[in-house]
Amino acid sequence: MRSFVRWVHSLAFVVKGAHCMRRGDDEGVIRNYSRAIEISPEDLDYYYARGHAYWHKRELGMAIADFSTAIDLDPDDLYAHFVRGAIYQEKGYLAQAMMDLNFVIEISEGPALAYYLRAKCFAEKKNFERAVEDLDSALEEDPYMEKARKLKAECEREVVQAGGVLAAKEQKEHEGGWLLF
């Protein structure tokens, strides 16, 4: 009964936070959902709402903290892993982003956006072949994802260019080897 009373009490702040969200008032969202979390800290939705407000405000560390708390409360929460992975990718924390996105891809049916974001991580790490593989998967799931199509074209150019550089290097080594004999 006590948790029900806490939940009802937290709803007043949730309603205020939702009104702030509709107005685009990120500070109001954060303030009201923070109060709701103080009252009912086990509700994942409160962390999602506040985390999104932090993300919108570009307070990425705070957003990551809220989605991490959601994951602590429910380690199998695909949504929290996906959003945290997206924020990590945006922040440039590629290893952490890839861990979350790998989890989402392995557990779910491989959502196109998760493949796309992981491909961006691979591309930033200059692993263009793996990026192309993930972009193929993304486009298989969502053939109309234009940003995946564009990134795939860029990555394929990099693969071809790297192949040309590698072939020239191998040719030079081969020619150099003949000169020694």
> Is residue 166 scored above 50 in pLDDT?
no
Domains delineated in the chain: 1-71 (1.25.40.10), 76-181 (1.25.40.10)
Q: Of 140, 84, 131, which Cα lies nearest the Cα of 112?
A: 140
Backbone angles phi, psi at 109, to 5 degrees: -80, 15
Determine the residue type at 44.
Answer: L
Indicate the pLDDT class of residue 163, thresholds 50, 70 and 90.
confident
Specify the range with the lowest mean pLDDT, choosing from 13-17, 56-60, 62-66, 158-162.
13-17
> Is residue 57 scored above 50 in pLDDT?
yes
**What's the full length of the chain, in residues?**
181
**Cα 117–Cα 33–Cα 15 angle in degrees, nearest 5:** 110
pLDDT value at position 154?
95
- Summarised one tens digit per residue, pLDDT across range 131-162 is 999 999 999 999 999 999 999 999 999 999 88
| Residue percentage of the chain with pLDDT more than 70 | 88
- Summarised one tens digit per residue, pLDDT across range 90-136 is 999 999 999 999 999 999 876 899 999 999 999 999 999 999 999 99
- Summarised one tens digit per residue, pLDDT across range 62-87 is 999 999 999 999 999 999 999 999 99
Global pTM value: 0.81
- Average pLDDT, integer, range 19-32: 91
Backbone region of residue 108 per phi and psi (left: phi > 0; alpha: psi in -120 to 50; beta: other values): beta
pLDDT value at position 110?
66
